[in-house]
Amino acid sequence: MAGEKLSRAAVAERALRLGDQEGVEAVTIRRLAQELGVTPMALYWHFKNKDELLLGIVDHALSTVRADRSAADPWQKQLRAMVEALVTVMREHPSLAELMHAVDKTEGESFTRATNDALTLLTAAGFGIEEAYWVASHLLHAAIGLVHAQPDCPMNVPADQAGEWRRQKRLSMESLPADKYPMVVAFAATYSRAPDTERYYAFGVDLVMAGVEAMAQSNATELDQRNGPRRA
């Protein structure tokens, strides 16, 4: 049981949960040892210092972001699955975005593998290797931004206070001069109910993927026009 508790994955998972609950600054070797009921020395077997611990957390969290190389699915479907997996793990772990900014994530196995998967799919879509990297980077930051900008209450608002928070937000917007900000005032009515969060995330993924797919199609059309009609 102790061996299972102190596996690298288990330590990283508990550290990730600690970051979600109390913020990244709470994630230290000493605090994590207290959470696991062991001495700090027991954790040095896996992570020599806090920097290695934070990188290990990110590497563990991103392990689910991968393309299915065994499937015959088209690149669009595989890339979408990667974006959806990234959004899912970002939603599950509010501290992940800050953690990814705190470390050099390119040193982690999971991030490097995910990057390679994305580049493989995007070059198959017709992007050059440099353009493919730009697209992959944009998709990463789009996923981070999508989760950060989630509609409705901030994460620190207790669930039983959400209704009141929405009411105050609606009243604040409705109090703006309607002749100056008519669309903002009209938007205020949406705070009369809880937003459809799942629809928001699906819409966001559709939005970024539509851009990638449209550009890939445009590149393919341009290439066909440049090459001219094919001979029979």
User: What is the predicted pLDDT for the residue at 152?
Assistant: 85
Q: Given pLDDT bands bounded at 50, 70 and 90, which one contains residue 114?
A: very high
- 64: DSSP letter: G
User: What is the predicted pLDDT for the residue at 230?
Assistant: 54
Note the pLDDT tens digit of each residue in 41-70.
888 888 888 899 999 999 999 998 987 766
* Residue 5 or 77, more confident: 77
Q: For all residues of the chain together, what is the average pLDDT?
A: 89
Q: What percent of the chain has pLDDT over 90?
A: 60
Are 109 and 59 contacting, i.e. CB atoms less than 8 angstroms apart?
A: yes
Q: Is the pTM here over 0.75, yes or no?
A: yes
Q: Which helix (H) or strand (E) holds 136?
A: helix 129-148
* Residue 118 or 2, more confident: 118
Token pair listed for 191: 């705070």
Q: Please report, for residues 21, 86, 130, the alpha-carbon distance to residue 27 in angstroms, rounded to integers and kept in the order given.
A: 10, 22, 36
Residue 5 pLDDT > 80, yes or no?
A: no
**Cβ neighbours of residue 227 closer than 8 Å, sequence gap 6 or more:** none
d(CA 127, CA 131): 6
Note the pLDDT tens digit of each residue in 129-145.
999 999 999 999 999 99
Q: Given pLDDT bands bounded at 50, 70 and 90, which one contains residue 4?
A: very low
Q: 10-35 burial by CB neighbour count: b if 16+ within 10 A, else e?
A: ebbebbbbbbbeeebeebebeebbee
Token pair listed for 147: 């989760």
- Which range among 45-49, 74-78, 198-202 shows the weakest confidence by mean pLDDT? 45-49
Residue 211 pLDDT > 90, yes or no?
A: yes
The residue whose two tokens read 């493919």 is: 132
Token pair listed for 130: 């440099």
User: What is the predicted pLDDT for the residue at 154?
Assistant: 81
Q: What percent of the chain has pLDDT over 70?
A: 92
- Which range among 57-66, 70-79, 217-226 shows the weakest confidence by mean pLDDT? 217-226
- 103: DSSP letter: S
User: What is the predicted pLDDT for the residue at 229?
Assistant: 60
Quick one: three-class SS letters along 176-231? Answer: CCCCCCHHHHHHHHHHHCCCCHHHHHHHHHHHHHHHHHHHHHHHHHHHHHHHCCCC
User: What is the predicted pLDDT for the residue at 179?
Assistant: 97
User: What is the predicted pLDDT for the residue at 151?
Assistant: 86
